[in-house]
Amino acid sequence: MAEINLIQNIGVSGFIFCALLLILPFMVSYYFKLGIIKKSVIIVSRMSFQLFLIGLLLTVVFDINNPLINVLWIFVMLFFATYTILEGTDFKTGPFLPTMLILFSIANILVLFYFTGFIIKLDDIFEARYLIPIAGMLMGNSLRANIVALNDFYHDVKNNEQRYLYRLCVGASRKEALFPYMQRSMLSSLKPTLANMATMGIVFLPGMMTGQILGGVNPILAIKYQITIMVAIFVTTVLGVLVCVIVVVEKGFDDYDLMVEDIKKV
């Protein structure tokens, strides 16, 4: 019996036509002298190589479907996600990486296994074809929000440094003095996720739902998955942002505190 392929394959000619689409942004870059043509070519090539490599590795991982290997893969993802968050901000990576990695991992793993165990109720919560893609969606969305939160927090405190120091000098604790900046950075980082959720299904069809429908899944079942994964993404994003901001507050302001102590002595 012939194998049934529910998704239309993309051949070499399809990739050629896809590459031709890049002519449009290249023309814009050339006209406005944006200087992104070379960078775009490198990034698209790098993305393609990475995805094909990951595709080959995932094929092996899915075939083996060993719980230990699956969990190890998740921890590798968590490490690179945490490192990318710090690299995408103006903070030094070293002092924050160990603590942030532990707390960020706890936040993501708790939601991940809650999702696989209680929401979709897998018989094997370590099953690779569910565990790894769902973990990727949770971390990917949380990663972007964390970068926004930490950058906004850093620049907000830097731009209001004198106001922050004044609050400390008049008796406010570190957390009290930083609370307005924490609040603003968390709100700004969560707004894109909330906006996506608000317009989902009306303005656009999300990736997970589209992929399942293309794969032949009933649209209602695809919608059920999309609703639950978006709730999980929102929760993971909130927890991830909270963890990252707390780590920065606890470990990134020792110099400020010493400065305030010196001022008070004077």
Q: For residue range 5-51, what is the model confidence (pLDDT) as tens digits?
A: 567 889 999 999 999 999 999 999 999 999 999 999 999 999 999 99
In this predicted model, what pLDDT tens digit does every residue of 209-230 receive, in sequence order? Answer: 888 888 888 999 999 999 999 9
pLDDT of amino acid 250 = 84
What is the full DSSP assignment across 4-46? P--S----HHHHHHHHHTTHHHHHHHHHHT---HHHHHHHHHH
Q: Average the pLDDT over 155-183 and give the result.
A: 89
pLDDT in tens, 119-138: 999 999 999 999 999 999 99
Helices 67-87 and 128-159: angle between axes, nearest 10 degrees: 20
- 4 confidence band (pLDDT: 50, 70, 90): very low
Tell me the two tokens of residue 35: 């200087």
Question: Tens digit of pLDDT for each residue in 167-180?
Answer: 888 888 888 889 99
The reported pLDDT for the residue numbered 239 is: 95
Provide the pLDDT confidence category of residue 93 given band limits of 50, 70 and 90.
Answer: confident
Quote the pTM value: 0.84
Whole-Å CA distances, 67 to 40, 62, 77, 136: 38, 11, 15, 17
Q: What share of the chain is helix, strand, coil (3-state, %, to 5)?
A: 80, 0, 20
Instruction: Give the burial class of 245: count Cβ atoms within 10 A of its Cβ; 0-12 exposed, 13-18 middle, 19 or more buried.
Output: buried
Note every long-range contact of 91-96, with CB atoms under 8 Å and residues 24 or more positions apart, other chains counting.
91/150, 91/154, 91/248, 91/252, 95/251, 95/252, 96/247, 96/248, 96/251, 96/252
pLDDT at 72: 96
Pick the more confident residue, 6 or 247.
247
